[in-house]
């Protein structure tokens, strides 16, 4: 199965420079709504079998145009929800960067546990389990390679990519997942292949499964992983 990991579009919290977390009422801003429509334009012609999303409003709004275009009802997956930042929720990034825990989050994230919230190691565990379970379910249901979309949040997506790369969670800050960016992972019976990360504009039709070869060998997946990495850091 091939999953397109989609980060939600730019939110009002991104614009304000605050840590949204699971705070109520965090919606897409005007630019974010434009990005959501652009995602539908990019993905709308692909044979996407299913859309799975975080329960938060900004993810709901991001997949709305795509779901309408494809005629799909998104599945809400609680394990793809944003990190529970606890007492950090709603505070400015500028202020948080002075906290002693900030350095741990940046340099040793596997040890980071947010005050009153959850640890990043727990986030990775739940998110990876969710993605792999949905992937296995779709494989069993369709009996062939299909495309599906998982819409989530930056740190959650980075943790899934880190796992797919076989990298330690402490390296996940080297991965970038900009608002409305797309990362692509193909799961096989032996290992995942990371085909693209932080992509914000290139053609994705190369990831459509071939009808004549529904179960491509690992060598093909490895060859196709030489993809352009698009986008840069920032909101």
Which stretches does DSSP call E strand in 153-191? 182-187
- Between β-strands 192-199 and 182-187, what pairing exists: parallel, antiparallel or unpaired? antiparallel
Q: Which of 109, 87, 76 is nearest to 23 (CA)?
A: 87
CA 102 to chain centre: 22
The residues facing 151 across adjacent strands are: 6, 53
d(CA 53, CA 45): 19
pLDDT confidence of residue 223: 36
Q: Measured in Å, how far apart are the chain's first and last C-alpha atoms?
A: 30
pLDDT confidence of residue 123: 98
pLDDT confidence of residue 39: 96
Which stretches does DSSP call E strand in the chain? 2-7, 48-53, 75-76, 147-152, 182-187, 192-199
Q: For the chain, which residues score pLDDT lower than 70?
A: 207, 210-235
Residue 68 CB: number of other CB atoms within 10 A? Answer: 11
pLDDT confidence of residue 211: 60
């Amino acid at each position: 199965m091939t999953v397109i990991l989609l980060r939600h579009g730019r939110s009002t919290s991104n614009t304000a420079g605050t840590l949204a977390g699971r705070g109520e009422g965090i919606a897409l801003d005007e630019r974010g709504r434009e990005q959501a429509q652009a995602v539908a334009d990019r993905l709308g012609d692909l044979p996407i079998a299913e859309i799975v999303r975080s329960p938060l409003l900004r993810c709901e709004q991001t997949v709305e145009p795509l779901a309408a275009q494809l005629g799909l009802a998104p599945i809400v997956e609680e394990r793809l929800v944003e990190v529970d930042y606890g007492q950090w929720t709603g505070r400015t990034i500028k202020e948080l960067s002075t906290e002693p825990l900030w350095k741990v989050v940046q340099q040793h994230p596997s040890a980071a546990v947010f005050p009153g919230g959850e640890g990043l190691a727990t986030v990775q565990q739940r998110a990876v389990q969710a993605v792999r379970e949905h992937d296995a379910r779709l494989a069993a249901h369709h009996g062939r390679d299909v495309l599906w979309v998982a819409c989530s949040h930056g740190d959650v997506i980075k943790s899934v990519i880190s796992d797919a790369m076989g990298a330690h969670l402490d390296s996940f800050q080297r991965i970038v997942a900009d608002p409305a960016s797309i990362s692509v992972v193909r799961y096989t019976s032996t290992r995942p292949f990371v085909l693209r990360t932080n992509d914000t504009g290139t053609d994705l039709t190369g990831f459509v499964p071939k009808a004549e070869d529904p179960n491509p060998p690992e060598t093909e997946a490895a060859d196709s992983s030489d993809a352009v990495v698009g986008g840069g850091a920032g909101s």
